[in-house]
Amino acid sequence: MTFSDRIWSACVKSWGALFTIVGVTVSVIGFFVVPSSQTVPLNIVVVLGLLIIVVLGIFIRAAYDANVDSTVSLPKVRTVIEPPATYRDASALLLLDPTEILSHDSIVSVYYLDAGIERLSGIGKVINIQNDKKIQVILIKDAEFSEKVAALKANKPEDLAKLIVKPSVPSFYLGGE
């Protein structure tokens, strides 16, 4: 999202129309009702004050939206099924929520949360990003995990919530020390 898009979005979300109507109404009333014999024209102070408040509100909203958008969370596993026949060495196919951190053909690590400890359960590969942006990952290497894969294919929500897919691979898998 570009900076100008973010500012425009913040204007729309910040009740900009309401601020504008209130600001114009107060400005017109201040211009015609406040006598012009004051040392500092109050009508100018009111107009400038309201404009500053509106602009400040828009920038605060834009900063808030930018902060919310900057957080990246790991995708949740929605479904575990049998892999397609073309991937005969794979043990399972995982369907993940849409995310920006995974791309086609990337390698991921799959962890299983067991008593508060994330245990490396396997290595996966992204094989497809669907039109609805959901991601298909095949489990190509399961480390001490083959007995749980069958149970995961039952797709119980409590079991799926224990699966964690990360966009990184341990160095030992790549042959590093």
Which sequence spans correspond to the domains of the chain?
A: 3-70, 77-170
How far is Cα of residue 57 from the mean position of the Cα atoms in its chain? 23
What band does 65 get if pLDDT is binned at 50, 70 and 90?
confident
Nearest Cα neighbor of 106 from 92, 123, 90, 94 is 123
> Quick one: CA dihedral 115, 117, 123, 124, positive or negative?
positive
H-run or E-run covering 177: none
User: What digits encode the pLDDT tens for the residues 121-137?
Assistant: 888 899 989 999 999 99
What band does 151 get if pLDDT is binned at 50, 70 and 90?
confident
Residue 168 pLDDT greater than 70, yes or no: yes
pLDDT value of position 134: 92
Count each helix (H run) and each strand (E run) in the chain, helices first.
Answer: 5, 6
The C-alpha atoms of residue 8 and residue 49 are separated, in whole angstroms, by: 21
Residue 140 pLDDT greater than 70, yes or no: yes
**Structure tokens given for 30:** 């201040």
Percent of the chain, pLDDT > 90? 5
23, with CB counted inside 10 A (0-12, 13-18, 19+), is: middle
Structure-model confidence comparison of residues 41 and 97, the more confident one: 97
